[in-house]
């Protein structure tokens, strides 16, 4: 297993903004200033986020983009292949798809932490299952849900205190 810090960005020829502009042009749409602000803000750092966190981040940085524009633009960015939507236990989170290697996730259902990892055995299994069913897989989504080590430690401490 490879932890998330080893999931370095891949070399790509076009910037996310250029890719998004190209996608929008194919649809007959324009890369408006709010959309440009969003794509650049999102790709400025690599982290998982939901729409509400994005709106809060934008406000904190002094940028005003309407909530409806954020939701519509996130959907467009997923459709364009720039972002991947992760459907988690109680929310949808987004992450970079364009320019980042394929990977899987663990999601702590207690604190909400998301851990990225790569595992070659999972990829091999995907290919074997595809062959078995005459299917050529090109991607998959694998999310392990449970509790992270910090939450398990905190839970263990509470239980010891409960015994006093």
Angle at alpha carbon of residue 114, lines to 74 and 57, rounded to 5°: 45
> Are the beta carbons of 3 and 115 closer than 8 angstroms?
yes
Ligand-binding site membership of 148 (annotated): yes
Pairing of strands 114-118, 2-3: antiparallel
Handedness of CA 115, 118, 124, 130 (dihedral sign): positive
The gap between the terminal CA atoms of the chain, to the nearest Å, is 39
Round to whole Å and give the CA distance between 164 and 161. 6
Crossing angle (nearest 10°) for helices 16-26 and 33-42: 140
Ligand-binding site membership of 104 (annotated): yes
Ligand-binding site membership of 52 (annotated): no
Nearest to 84 by CA among 112, 108, 116: 116
Task: Please provide the size of the chain in residues.
Answer: 164
Ligand-binding site membership of 150 (annotated): no
| Binding-site positions for Fe cation | 104, 140
Which segments are annotated as binding site?
A: 104, 108, 111, 140, 148, 151
Residues of each annotated binding site for Zn(2+): 108, 111, 148, 151
């Amino acid at each position: 297993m490879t932890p998330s810090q080893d999931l370095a960005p891949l070399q790509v020829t076009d910037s996310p903004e250029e890719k998004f502009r190209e996608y929008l042009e194919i649809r007959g749409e324009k890369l408006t200033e709010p959309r440009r602000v969003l794509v650049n803000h999102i790709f400025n750092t690599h982290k998982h986020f939901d729409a509400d966190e994005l709106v809060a981040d934008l406000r904190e940085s002094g940028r005003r983009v309407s909530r409806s524009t954020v939701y519509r633009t996130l959907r467009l960015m997923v459709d364009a292949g720039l972002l991947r939507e992760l459907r988690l236990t109680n929310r949808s989170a987004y992450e970079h798809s364009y320019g980042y290697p394929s990977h899987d996730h663990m999601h702590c259902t207690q604190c909400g932490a998301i851990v990225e990892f790569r595992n070659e055995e999972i990829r091999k299994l995907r290919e074997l299952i595809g062959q078995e069913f005459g299917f050529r897989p090109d991607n998959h989504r694998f999310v392990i849900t449970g509790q992270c080590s910090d939450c398990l430690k905190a839970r263990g401490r509470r239980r010891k205190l409960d015994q006093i």
